[in-house]
Protein backbone atom coordinates (compact mmCIF):
# COMPACT_ATOMS: atom_id res chain seq x y z
CA UNK A 1 0.00 0.00 0.00
CA UNK A 2 1.22 3.48 -0.80
CA UNK A 3 2.31 5.69 2.06
CA UNK A 4 1.41 8.92 0.22
CA UNK A 5 -2.11 10.24 -0.07
CA UNK A 6 -3.92 9.27 -3.26
CA UNK A 7 -5.41 12.31 -5.07
CA UNK A 8 -9.17 12.37 -5.48
CA UNK A 9 -8.91 12.37 -9.29
CA UNK A 10 -6.84 9.17 -9.13
CA UNK A 11 -9.28 7.52 -6.74
CA UNK A 12 -12.17 8.37 -9.07
CA UNK A 13 -10.44 6.59 -11.97
CA UNK A 14 -9.76 3.36 -10.07
CA UNK A 15 -13.26 1.86 -10.57
CA UNK A 16 -12.90 2.38 -14.34
CA UNK A 17 -9.51 0.64 -14.30
CA UNK A 18 -10.93 -2.23 -12.26
CA UNK A 19 -13.98 -2.75 -14.48
CA UNK A 20 -11.80 -2.66 -17.61
CA UNK A 21 -9.37 -5.19 -16.15
CA UNK A 22 -12.27 -7.51 -15.32
CA UNK A 23 -13.21 -7.54 -19.00
CA UNK A 24 -9.61 -8.05 -20.12
CA UNK A 25 -9.07 -10.97 -17.75
CA UNK A 26 -12.38 -12.50 -18.87
CA UNK A 27 -11.24 -12.60 -22.52
CA UNK A 28 -7.86 -14.10 -21.61
CA UNK A 29 -5.64 -11.01 -21.75
CA UNK A 30 -2.75 -11.75 -19.41
CA UNK A 31 -0.62 -8.63 -19.66
CA UNK A 32 -0.96 -5.11 -21.00
CA UNK A 33 1.18 -1.99 -21.44
CA UNK A 34 0.16 1.40 -20.10
CA UNK A 35 -0.19 2.76 -23.64
CA UNK A 36 -2.50 -0.09 -24.69
CA UNK A 37 -4.48 0.22 -21.50
CA UNK A 38 -4.71 3.97 -22.01
CA UNK A 39 -6.16 3.48 -25.49
CA UNK A 40 -8.87 1.22 -24.06
CA UNK A 41 -9.91 3.50 -21.17
CA UNK A 42 -9.21 6.70 -23.17
CA UNK A 43 -6.84 8.09 -20.56
CA UNK A 44 -3.27 9.21 -21.26
CA UNK A 45 -0.72 6.47 -20.45
CA UNK A 46 1.34 8.94 -18.40
CA UNK A 47 -1.67 9.55 -16.17
CA UNK A 48 -2.24 5.82 -15.78
CA UNK A 49 1.38 5.18 -14.78
CA UNK A 50 1.23 8.04 -12.26
CA UNK A 51 -2.07 6.75 -10.85
CA UNK A 52 -0.62 3.30 -10.29
CA UNK A 53 2.64 4.69 -8.90
CA UNK A 54 0.81 5.81 -5.74
CA UNK A 55 0.45 2.12 -4.87
CA UNK A 56 4.02 1.03 -5.50
CA UNK A 57 5.50 -1.13 -8.26
CA UNK A 58 2.44 -2.64 -9.94
CA UNK A 59 4.10 -3.14 -13.31
CA UNK A 60 7.50 -3.97 -14.77
CA UNK A 61 9.45 -1.99 -17.34
CA UNK A 62 9.45 -3.78 -20.67
CA UNK A 63 6.65 -6.10 -19.54
CA UNK A 64 3.76 -3.86 -18.56
CA UNK A 65 1.09 -4.99 -16.12
CA UNK A 66 -0.07 -8.47 -15.19
CA UNK A 67 -3.82 -8.01 -15.69
CA UNK A 68 -4.88 -10.67 -13.18
CA UNK A 69 -2.53 -9.37 -10.48
CA UNK A 70 -3.54 -5.76 -11.10
CA UNK A 71 -7.24 -6.63 -11.08
CA UNK A 72 -6.90 -8.48 -7.76
CA UNK A 73 -4.98 -5.56 -6.27
CA UNK A 74 -7.65 -3.05 -7.30
CA UNK A 75 -10.36 -5.40 -6.08
CA UNK A 76 -8.82 -5.23 -2.62
CA UNK A 77 -8.23 -1.46 -2.76
CA UNK A 78 -11.86 -0.87 -3.77
CA UNK A 79 -13.15 -3.29 -1.10
CA UNK A 80 -14.79 -5.45 -3.77
CA UNK A 81 -13.94 -8.63 -1.90
CA UNK A 82 -16.62 -7.92 0.71
CA UNK A 83 -20.34 -7.06 0.56
CA UNK A 84 -21.20 -3.36 0.68
CA UNK A 85 -24.74 -2.86 1.96
CA UNK A 86 -26.51 0.37 1.03
CA UNK A 87 -29.95 1.81 1.67
CA UNK A 88 -32.18 3.79 -0.66
CA UNK A 89 -34.04 6.89 0.53
CA UNK A 90 -36.85 7.77 -1.84
CA UNK A 91 -38.62 5.05 -3.84
CA UNK A 92 -40.02 7.27 -6.60
CA UNK A 93 -39.39 6.73 -10.31
CA UNK A 94 -35.59 6.95 -10.07
CA UNK A 95 -35.45 5.07 -6.78
CA UNK A 96 -37.63 2.27 -8.16
CA UNK A 97 -35.40 2.01 -11.23
CA UNK A 98 -32.35 1.66 -8.97
CA UNK A 99 -34.11 -1.00 -6.89
CA UNK A 100 -35.03 -2.95 -10.02
CA UNK A 101 -31.40 -2.83 -11.10
CA UNK A 102 -29.93 -3.27 -7.59
CA UNK A 103 -26.34 -3.63 -8.83
CA UNK A 104 -27.16 -6.89 -10.64
CA UNK A 105 -23.76 -6.88 -12.36
CA UNK A 106 -21.94 -6.29 -9.07
CA UNK A 107 -22.50 -8.96 -6.44
CA UNK A 108 -20.46 -6.96 -3.92
CA UNK A 109 -22.97 -4.11 -3.57
CA UNK A 110 -26.62 -4.48 -2.62
CA UNK A 111 -29.52 -2.22 -1.66
CA UNK A 112 -30.82 -3.97 1.44
CA UNK A 113 -33.55 -1.57 2.53
CA UNK A 114 -35.55 1.37 1.14
CA UNK A 115 -37.46 4.24 2.76
CA UNK A 116 -40.33 6.36 1.47
CA UNK A 117 -43.20 8.55 2.72
CA UNK A 118 -45.76 7.20 0.23
CA UNK A 119 -48.24 4.90 2.07
CA UNK A 120 -48.90 3.04 -1.17
CA UNK A 121 -45.24 1.96 -1.30
CA UNK A 122 -44.52 1.37 2.40
CA UNK A 123 -44.60 -2.30 3.38
CA UNK A 124 -44.25 -3.51 -0.18
CA UNK A 125 -41.23 -5.08 -1.87
CA UNK A 126 -39.65 -3.75 -5.04
CA UNK A 127 -37.50 -6.43 -6.68
CA UNK A 128 -37.07 -8.12 -3.30
CA UNK A 129 -36.24 -4.99 -1.29
CA UNK A 130 -38.78 -3.91 1.32
CA UNK A 131 -39.84 -0.26 1.52
CA UNK A 132 -39.95 1.08 5.09
CA UNK A 133 -41.73 4.24 6.33
CA UNK A 134 -39.49 7.30 6.37
CA UNK A 135 -40.11 7.98 10.06
CA UNK A 136 -38.32 4.72 10.90
CA UNK A 137 -35.12 5.97 9.31
CA UNK A 138 -34.02 8.10 12.25
CA UNK A 139 -34.55 5.29 14.77
CA UNK A 140 -33.20 2.35 12.75
CA UNK A 141 -29.66 1.15 13.39
CA UNK A 142 -27.85 1.56 10.08
CA UNK A 143 -24.35 1.51 11.53
CA UNK A 144 -23.49 -1.55 9.42
CA UNK A 145 -24.61 0.18 6.20
CA UNK A 146 -21.87 1.47 3.90
CA UNK A 147 -23.82 4.36 2.39
CA UNK A 148 -27.23 5.73 1.42
CA UNK A 149 -28.55 6.57 -2.04
CA UNK A 150 -30.60 9.74 -1.84
CA UNK A 151 -33.34 10.14 -4.47
CA UNK A 152 -35.84 12.40 -2.70
CA UNK A 153 -37.07 15.82 -3.95
CA UNK A 154 -34.74 18.77 -3.30
CA UNK A 155 -36.97 20.25 -0.59
CA UNK A 156 -36.60 17.11 1.54
CA UNK A 157 -33.00 16.11 0.79
CA UNK A 158 -31.34 17.91 3.71
CA UNK A 159 -33.82 16.56 6.27
CA UNK A 160 -33.60 13.03 4.87
CA UNK A 161 -29.80 13.12 5.01
CA UNK A 162 -29.83 14.30 8.62
CA UNK A 163 -32.22 11.49 9.55
CA UNK A 164 -29.92 8.98 7.87
CA UNK A 165 -26.89 10.34 9.73
CA UNK A 166 -28.78 9.90 13.01
CA UNK A 167 -29.23 6.22 12.10
CA UNK A 168 -25.50 5.69 11.51
CA UNK A 169 -24.93 6.62 7.86
CA UNK A 170 -21.69 8.42 6.97
CA UNK A 171 -21.77 8.38 3.16
CA UNK A 172 -24.26 9.49 0.51
CA UNK A 173 -24.72 9.16 -3.22
CA UNK A 174 -26.96 12.18 -3.73
CA UNK A 175 -29.19 12.28 -6.81
CA UNK A 176 -31.20 15.21 -5.45
CA UNK A 177 -30.38 18.46 -7.29
CA UNK A 178 -29.34 20.27 -4.14
CA UNK A 179 -26.10 20.64 -2.19
CA UNK A 180 -26.23 19.17 1.28
CA UNK A 181 -24.76 20.86 4.37
CA UNK A 182 -23.48 17.98 6.48
CA UNK A 183 -20.80 17.31 9.14
CA UNK A 184 -17.19 17.17 7.98
CA UNK A 185 -16.92 13.43 8.65
CA UNK A 186 -19.77 12.65 6.22
CA UNK A 187 -18.76 12.00 2.61
CA UNK A 188 -21.13 12.96 -0.23
CA UNK A 189 -20.98 12.25 -3.96
CA UNK A 190 -23.37 14.45 -5.93
CA UNK A 191 -24.89 13.04 -9.12
CA UNK A 192 -26.69 15.92 -10.83
CA UNK A 193 -27.92 14.58 -14.16
CA UNK A 194 -29.05 18.03 -15.31
CA UNK A 195 -25.55 19.45 -14.82
CA UNK A 196 -23.97 16.45 -16.55
CA UNK A 197 -26.34 16.78 -19.51
CA UNK A 198 -25.72 20.52 -19.79
CA UNK A 199 -21.96 19.88 -19.78
CA UNK A 200 -22.38 17.22 -22.48
CA UNK A 201 -24.43 19.60 -24.65
CA UNK A 202 -21.79 22.32 -24.21
CA UNK A 203 -18.93 20.04 -25.26
CA UNK A 204 -20.89 18.65 -28.22
CA UNK A 205 -21.78 22.11 -29.52
CA UNK A 206 -18.28 23.45 -28.85
CA UNK A 207 -16.79 20.54 -30.77
CA UNK A 208 -19.13 21.12 -33.71
CA UNK A 209 -18.27 24.82 -33.82
CA UNK A 210 -14.56 23.99 -33.88
CA UNK A 211 -15.02 21.57 -36.77
CA UNK A 212 -16.99 24.19 -38.73
CA UNK A 213 -14.21 26.75 -38.27
CA UNK A 214 -11.49 24.42 -39.58
- How far does Cα 26 stand from its chain's mean position? 22
Domain ranges of the chain: 8-77, 84-194
Count Cβ atoms within 10 A of the Cβ of residue 133 and give its class: 0-12 exposed, 13-18 middle, 19 or more buried: middle
**Residue stretches of the annotated binding site:** 90-95
Confidence of residue 197 (pLDDT cuts 50, 70, 90): confident
pLDDT of residue 165: 96
Contacts 24+ apart (CB under 8 A), 200-205: none
Question: What mean pLDDT value characterizes the chain?
Answer: 89
Could you tell me which CATH number the domain at 84-194 has? 3.40.50.720
pLDDT of residue 2: 46
- At 104-154, the pLDDT tens digits run 766 688 999 999 999 999 999 999 999 999 999 989 999 999 999 999 999
pLDDT of residue 61: 80
Backbone angles phi, psi at 93, to 5 degrees: -60, -50
Confidence of residue 4 (pLDDT cuts 50, 70, 90): low
Q: Report the distance separating Cα 75 and Cα 35, nearest Å.
A: 22
pLDDT of residue 1: 45
* Percentage of residues of the chain with pLDDT beyond 90: 66
- At 22-41, the pLDDT tens digits run 999 999 999 999 999 999 99
194 has pLDDT over 80: yes
Q: How far apart are the first and last CA of the chain?
A: 48
pLDDT of residue 5: 83
Is the separation of the CB atoms in 17 and 77 below 8 Å?
Answer: no
pLDDT of residue 57: 75
Is the separation of the CB atoms in 137 and 89 below 8 Å?
Answer: yes
pLDDT of residue 214: 66
**Residue stretches of the annotated binding site for NAD(+):** 90-95
Q: How would you list the strands of the sheet with 64-66, edge to edge?
A: 31-32, 64-66, 59-60
**Of 21, 8, 16, which is closest to residue 43 (Cα–Cα)?**
16
CATH 2.40.30.30 fits 8-77, yes or no: no
pLDDT of residue 123: 94
Amino acid sequence: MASQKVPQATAERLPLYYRTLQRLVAIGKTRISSSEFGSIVQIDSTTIRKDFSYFGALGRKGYGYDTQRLMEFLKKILYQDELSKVILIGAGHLGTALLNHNFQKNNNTKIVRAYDVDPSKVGKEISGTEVHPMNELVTDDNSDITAAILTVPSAHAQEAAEMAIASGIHGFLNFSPTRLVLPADVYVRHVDMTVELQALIYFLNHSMEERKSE
